[in-house]
Amino acid sequence: MSHTVEILSVGTELLLGNIANTDAQTLSQGLSELGLNVYYHTVVGDNPQRAREAVAIAKKRADIIITTGGLGPTCDDLTKNVLAEAFGKKLVFDEPSAERIRSYFAKTKRPMTDNNLQQAMLPEGCTVLANDWGTAPGCAFQAEGVHVIMLPGPPSECRPMFQYRAKPYLQSLSEGVIASHTLKLFGIGESAMEAQLRDQMNAMSNPTLAPYAKEGECELRVTAKAPTDAEAQALLKPTVEQVKALFGSKVYGVDVSSLEEVVEGLLREKGMTIGVAESCTGGLMAKRLTDVAGASQVFLGGIVSYTNQVKAGMLHVPQHLLDQFGAVSPEVALAMAEGARKALGCDIALATTGVAGPDKDDWDNEVGTMFVAIATPDGTHVRPLKLGSRPVRARLRTQTAHHAFDLARRYLTGLPYEDGAV
Amino acid sequence: MSHTVEILSVGTELLLGNIANTDAQTLSQGLSELGLNVYYHTVVGDNPQRAREAVAIAKKRADIIITTGGLGPTCDDLTKNVLAEAFGKKLVFDEPSAERIRSYFAKTKRPMTDNNLQQAMLPEGCTVLANDWGTAPGCAFQAEGVHVIMLPGPPSECRPMFQYRAKPYLQSLSEGVIASHTLKLFGIGESAMEAQLRDQMNAMSNPTLAPYAKEGECELRVTAKAPTDAEAQALLKPTVEQVKALFGSKVYGVDVSSLEEVVEGLLREKGMTIGVAESCTGGLMAKRLTDVAGASQVFLGGIVSYTNQVKAGMLHVPQHLLDQFGAVSPEVALAMAEGARKALGCDIALATTGVAGPDKDDWDNEVGTMFVAIATPDGTHVRPLKLGSRPVRARLRTQTAHHAFDLARRYLTGLPYEDGAV
């Protein structure tokens, strides 16, 4: 049976534009992975009358209503009151929820005011969705042919509450198990990826294939539904293999979060270390490598050389290269990588130099002219990039860092650098 | 007269969770600055029947409907068709818009397919909102007591189209001019800031005062409405001065974007240069300083020292300090700043060292133990921080970088460092 979902978010802060409705995005992603159709998002403020009207509309056009927000004491538990009323239910005191709230305050050593216990008032006969990430419990009930699920608003609570509480409940509505894998690609544009897959995507129903564009890279999510997880995995496997074969070395990982995470994983496996020398990326590569917890096992350090003096002084780039070719040149990129490798004492060093804009450099290099280089125990390599002047500065820098990490990944997995393909 | 606004976003990608509805956030912010009340956000997919129903609901409960998305050829110009139909208007061919579309394609050297010219079909008698940021023009009309404004969906088009096209149109609906200033604060929590201002905020109507929490810092927006800009500015001035007096040196700027931008502005003014030495922030400070276009005028470079070897070798931190106090200590933070100042040849150097987690360091320092230091021509200073272990790694790093930039700002403006206050 096919369900229609409406996500109803309650919160004046959304209508004032203080925050974006990322809860609706998180839920929508999760729901489409479950094969449930989200047809509407609605946002109303902390206003009982307008919330009542929005619920009346949702009740008519959806058979699953998921609410976010409006559960805490500051909004008088508006969502619970309105939904209970709309479905003719009373709110009753739930002692286990009260106990959780008391112990939450005890644990975080904050004083608990009485209105906090109001959060333990829940629609009679509901399934309580215990909140391990905050105070307001969620709940779920079915009435008049509609499933209602209420989740807290703060994204740090909404996300795990959906994942660990609402999702299992929703899975019971659909038969079987949903499983998915995400392939990450670098070196191909979203439209080129889609063009190569379009016929296949349209022809598939289980598993399904969904492309996503990320900043400068692409994702493909393969999702299957089956009576058991083993059967779902069996359905996924051939498609994952097929996509990997189709895109070859452009696929840099399955169920991984980023190129830098993959690079650090490979370094850890091989017991090797990395360092960076950055001009145009200005610290971004080091920042991304150290975003990953545990980076200190493989990352030794970096040098951000924003002037020729620092390139010559700290990275030992020969002055004659700077004079003859300019800082934005393959020769200097290579010398920076070699210099960083020596200065930092790391096994692999990555280097970037280029023009991130807004203007051409003194050597008349266009914005978007970039060189990324790698120095390894087996030699060096430089990849020239022409990223164009249309992307904004931040995008140019991100893209350049992606390319440098791609060189490291290719070196560490024994793949050819394939500069022309990207 | 008081208006009621509904933002209606059209796009299946929103319902699939591929993107968050940042358009609705941008518009909501802008509209509340105009003093217009946004009561509803609605999202529907690229589905004519459901879009029609959503418009019928919006027509009943709002007198200003602003749509985003659904204007391009890939969705058959769904939004325009549905809105025109709902208000009994025909679509007519607008030659100036067609000409803009042709020249847009000529300029970007992309081939133009015929369906692109469909975008020049617009509701009869509408005000055309020319799109200088993409192909699909927006439009506005009034019918049956409702103002309808249609904007393109891509955020890079929606944002400027709102700012430069829709806003002037909406301003004409309200009498007078709206002006605002944003004060940026560092070193005070959002709740503490609100507590100090609550009574005042509630008592004010023109200008109004709205607080926003950013990652680790706070904003206060002061907005006034008056017949002319000069009168609005005259209303704003005393409130801005009053807030500045109330929060003193915690206010780091008015209508500026970030601490690092302020620091770079001050350096430029004084003809001074800066460099960084980063341990726990791992490149984030350098990255933030170089996010700002034109950073190369004042930023010389940075050293990310993720190991004691790099701290000793490149920053010349004396080995006995590392042995005696450990890398996470005020002594090493100071030595890093001094070392960076010498090695990079900059006037001011900032340094960070600390435990960003997930675990304690080898010296049993808790997660969130941080030291930020500054070395200047007039001496050095170190600020110890206990940021706690509750914030996530990224937040701890951001916060630590904020503190380092705050030291630089205080030095450059002759303010006391005031470590205890933050």
Give the single-character DSSP code of B166: I
Span A281-291, average pLDDT: 97
**In the predicted structure, residue A386 carries a pLDDT above the cut 80:** yes
Local confidence band at B419 (pLDDT 50, 70, 90 cut-offs): confident
CA distance B91 to chain A (A): 27
The per-residue pLDDT for B163 is 94
Q: Which residues of A175-210 are buried (b: 16+ CB within 10 A; e: fewer)?
A: eebbbbbbbbbbbbeeeebeeebeeeeeeeeebbbb
Local confidence band at B354 (pLDDT 50, 70, 90 cut-offs): very high
As a whole number, the mean pLDDT across chain B is 91
The per-residue pLDDT for B240 is 96
Span A296-321, average pLDDT: 97
Q: Which residue has the tokens 């112990």?
A: A103
Token pair for B382: 């170190």
Q: How many CA atoms lie within 13 A of B140 on its CB side?
A: 19
Phi and psi at B290, nearest 5°, equal -90, -5
DSSP helix/strand/coil, A140: strand
List of domains in chain A: 4-173 (3.40.980.10), 177-254 (3.30.70.2860), 259-421 (3.90.950.20)
**B-chain residues near A358 (CB < 8 A):** 293-294
The per-residue pLDDT for B229 is 86
Span A249-254, average pLDDT: 96
Closest C-alpha among A322, A315, A332, A313 to residue A371: A332
**In the predicted structure, residue A106 carries a pLDDT above the cut 90:** no
DSSP helix/strand/coil, B204: coil
Span B39-55, average pLDDT: 95
DSSP helix/strand/coil, A306: coil
Q: Which residue has the tokens 């017991």?
A: A271
Interface test with B, best of A6, A14, A28, A360 (most B CBs within 10 A): A28
Minimum CA–CA partner of A357 in chain B = B293
**In the predicted structure, residue A225 carries a pLDDT above the cut 80:** yes
Measured in Å, how far apart are chain A's first and last C-alpha atoms?
A: 44
Interface test with A, best of B180, B290, B359 (most A CBs within 10 A): B290
- With an 8 Å Cβ cutoff, are B309 and A345 in contact? yes
The per-residue pLDDT for A15 is 93
Measure CB to CB from residue B17 to each of A29, A304, A358 and give the nearest one: A29
CA distance A128 to chain B (A): 26
**In the predicted structure, residue A422 carries a pLDDT above the cut 70:** no
Span B292-306, average pLDDT: 95
Q: Long-range contacts for B107-111 (Cβ within 8 Å, ≥24 apart)?
A: none
DSSP helix/strand/coil, A148: strand
Local confidence band at B1 (pLDDT 50, 70, 90 cut-offs): low
Residue type, A400: T
Angle, CA of A124, A100 and A108, to the nearest 5°: 145
Minimum CA–CA partner of A31 in chain B = B16
**In the predicted structure, residue B421 carries a pLDDT above the cut 70:** no
**In the predicted structure, residue A421 carries a pLDDT above the cut 60:** no
Residue B12 CA to its chain's centroid (Å): 26
Span B44-55, average pLDDT: 94
- Distance, in Å, from the CA atom of B21 to the CA atom of B155, rounded to the nearest integer, reads 9
**In the predicted structure, residue A27 carries a pLDDT above the cut 80:** yes
Burial of B341 (0-12, 13-18, 19+ CB in 10 A): buried
Query: What percent of chain B stands above pLDDT 70?
Result: 97
Return the number of CB contacts < 8 Å for A and B: 225
Token pair for B194: 């609100």
Measure CB to CB from residue B283 to each of A15, A42, A287 and give the nearest one: A287
The per-residue pLDDT for B109 is 67
The per-residue pLDDT for B108 is 67
As a whole number, the mean pLDDT across chain A is 91
Torsion angle in degrees (nearest 10) through CA of B389, B394, B400, B406: -140
- Distance, in Å, from the CA atom of B127 to the CA atom of B43, rounded to the nearest integer, reads 24
What is the ipTM score, two decimals? 0.79
Interface test with A, best of B303, B311, B346, B362 (most A CBs within 10 A): B303
The per-residue pLDDT for B64 is 97
Higher pLDDT, B105 or A335: A335
Residue A95 CA to its chain's centroid (Å): 37
- With an 8 Å Cβ cutoff, are A284 and B287 in contact? yes
**A-chain residues near B287 (CB < 8 A):** 281-284, 286-287
| CA distance to A390, B129, B153, per residue, from B133 (Å) | 12, 11, 12
**In the predicted structure, residue A227 carries a pLDDT above the cut 90:** no
**In the predicted structure, residue B393 carries a pLDDT above the cut 70:** yes
B233-277 pLDDT, tens digit per residue, is 999 999 999 999 999 999 999 999 999 999 999 999 999 999 999
DSSP helix/strand/coil, A362: coil
**In the predicted structure, residue A83 carries a pLDDT above the cut 90:** yes
Token pair for A224: 């299957």
Higher pLDDT, B422 or B39: B39
Query: What percent of chain B stands above pLDDT 90?
Result: 69
**In the predicted structure, residue A171 carries a pLDDT above the cut 90:** no
The per-residue pLDDT for B96 is 93
A137-165 pLDDT, tens digit per residue, is 999 999 999 999 999 998 989 999 999 99
Local confidence band at A76 (pLDDT 50, 70, 90 cut-offs): confident
Interface test with A, best of B4, B7, B34, B41 (most A CBs within 10 A): B41
Query: What percent of chain A stands above pLDDT 90?
Result: 69
**In the predicted structure, residue B422 carries a pLDDT above the cut 60:** no
* Selection from A37-41, A71-75, B104-108 with the highest mean pLDDT: A37-41
- With an 8 Å Cβ cutoff, are B42 and A38 in contact? no
| CA distance to A43, A67, B10, B65, B143, per residue, from B61 (Å) | 14, 21, 18, 10, 15
B153-200 pLDDT, tens digit per residue, is 989 899 999 999 999 899 877 667 778 899 999 998 877 887 888 778
The per-residue pLDDT for A388 is 82
Higher pLDDT, B340 or B220: B340
CA distance A125 to chain B (A): 30
Burial of B195 (0-12, 13-18, 19+ CB in 10 A): exposed
Q: Which residue has the tokens 């360091």?
A: B361
Whether the Cβ atoms of residue A271 and residue A208 lie closer than 8 Å to each other: no
